[in-house]
Amino acid sequence: MFTMSEAILLPVVEEKRFANDRGDTWWLRPTIQGAYLILFGFYAMWAVAIDFENYDYELGDVHFISPFFNPDIEVSWWPEGLSPGLILIWAPLGFRATCYYARKVYYRAFFWDPPGCAIDEARAHDGNYRGENKAPFIINNIHRYFFFLAFVLAIIHSAEFISLIFQGGLSTGVGAGATIILGLDALFLSLYVLSCHSCKHIIGGSMNRNSGGGLRKFRFKSWKIVKTLNERHHVYFWLSLTTILIADIYVRFGLAYGLLL
């Protein structure tokens, strides 16, 4: 038995970056996801900021528009020669960049902080970690406000899809292909937004009990639906990102060259 005056010497363990006991290829997923985000980012920057004169196409009486530019807003004070897509691109970009799942993806892919479960951090506990309490990552705390903007955008994309149907977007093979792709964009964007953690909190937050009046029961049932969607939030993140990319490519090139699905 040791007395209070006796010291206990413990072995010193040297910290190593990415130290782990995992035998799998833990680095593969963040590498692939990071590469995909980089490629998407470069394409989106080119489509929105550079080649912004080919974002829509008229096929007869039907007007197709790329999701990057929807809604198509025209303002008198906007400088001529500057892409109109830059007027609102900050809204979906802000929503995705501050998304809880997106943070997990780019923290692992780009900062390796940490790169995966049960993997030591790249900085090896340097004592300067502040999380999201200081710039620039403190901006992630306004994700709940970006949600309202994204919710409106999801409604606009869905309304655009319905409008295409009534305009006759399904009447031709090429137009039907674009209409279906834009419909998938609206669907997965809506699922991505509605499965958001902020949406779940807005619907079911501050409820101490789920019994009582009709509004309370309605909120509880709605919360259970959103909770179910939230379990696939990561899936909708990638699907919505991919369908936006495919829809822009199809509107920009597929319609012009008469490509069918």
- For 83-137, write each residue's pLDDT tens digit: 999 999 999 999 999 999 999 999 889 988 777 777 776 665 556 666 677 777 7
Beta strands in 128-189 (DSSP E): none
Lowest pLDDT segment from 2-16, 98-112, 218-232: 2-16
When mean pLDDT is compared across 18-22, 35-39, 196-200, 214-218, the lowest value belongs to 18-22
Is 149 domain-assigned? yes
What CA–CA distance (Å, rounded) separates 159 from 183?
Answer: 10
Instruction: Note whether residue 63 is domain-resident.
Output: yes
The verdict on residue 1 lying in a domain is no
Could you tell me if residue 236 is inside a domain? yes
Sign, Cα dihedral of 183, 184, 190, 193: negative
- What is the reported pLDDT for 13? 44
CA distance linking residue 173 with residue 193, whole number of Å: 30
Q: List CB contacts of 105: < 8 A, sequence separation 6 or more.
A: 30, 33, 34, 37
Closest C-alpha among 64, 18, 37, 58 to residue 238: 37
Nearest to 124 by CA among 47, 19, 253: 19
Of residues 11 and 33, more confidently modeled? 33
Answer whether residue 19 is part of any domain. no
Contacts for 124 with CB less than 8 Å, ≥ 6 apart: 15, 16, 17
Which residue, 244, 38, 59, is CA-closest to 153?
A: 244
Residue span of the structural domain in which 95 resides: 28-72+83-123+131-195+232-254
**Is residue 215 domain-resident?**
no
Cβ 138 vs Cβ 148: under 8 Å? no
In a domain, 20, yes or no: no
- The mean pLDDT of 52-71, rounded to a whole number, is 91
Is residue 242 assigned to a domain?
yes
Number of domains observed in the structure of the chain: 1
